[in-house]
Chain A
Amino acid sequence: DAGITQSPRHKVTETGTPVTLRCHQTENHRYMYWYRQDPGHGLRLIHYSYGVKDTDKGEVSDGYSVSRSKTEDFLLTLESATSSQTSVYFCAISESIGTGSYEQYFGPGTRLTVT
């Protein structure tokens, strides 16, 4: 199994508070991703990173920011949490993005509830 951990695994927070989720990998993979999973939507990409300090937006990035100061850590911050951000958040990593499989390996997920 790929070495990916997410913390916290569960969190309940109040509307308007900032929240930071952490993804940590031990695989030294270059690419890291944050997704959210909601019923009926599958997984939607929030932000991704293609190297230390290199990040870009995905399809549902509003209200989220990310940072990657080390290869192994990718942080997702909800700047001011809203109820619409209640979701399960997955971190993923991949070795490359070119031809060939280079599938993404997923962390265990973080269940976030915004009240």
Chain B
Amino acid sequence: AQKITQTQPGMFVQEKEAVTLDCTYDTSDQSYGLFWYKQPSSGEMIFLIYQGSYDEQNATEGRYSLNFQKARKSANLVISASQLGDSAMYFCAMRELNTGGFKTIFGAGTRLFVKA
């Protein structure tokens, strides 16, 4: 069964430093997609980055990069040069493309606090 685990309920980082948010997943499907979403205190869900299981290179979007280690089944989000506006809840998610149908499952989230 598909499962997403985010083991860090809360993280602190100093402004302008890099931070890594952990995500591990479990799936028996060979074809899947991994997503990260940001949820600021205002409540909306914002898509950040996507990694396909067959993508050979790690995905990057501006200051966000996804450290994809397929053998370890991990998909960590790296935020470089943290900003105060990065303080938010971050969710890792996965969709199995062959067996998952329409379902995307989410981890419990990591709350990031950026200190000035």
Contact = CB atoms under 8 A, between A and B. Distances in A.
Interface of A: 31, 33, 35, 40-45, 48, 50, 56, 58-59, 88, 90, 92, 97-106, 108-109
B12 interface: no
A99 B50 CA distance: 11
Nearest to A88: B43
Contacts, number: 60
Given A108-B43, A108-B44, A43 B106 contact: yes
A40 B108 contact: yes
A32 to B, nearest CB: 10
A31 B31 contact: no
A56 B103 CA distance: 10
B103 A58 contact: yes
A110 B80 CA distance: 32
Interface in B1-53: 4, 6, 31, 33, 35, 37, 43-45, 47, 50, 52
A107 B93 CA distance: 17
Given A56-B102, A58-B103, A99-B31, A42 B47 contact: no
B47 A45 contact: no
A84 B103 CA distance: 23
A105 B108 contact: no
Nearest to A106: B45
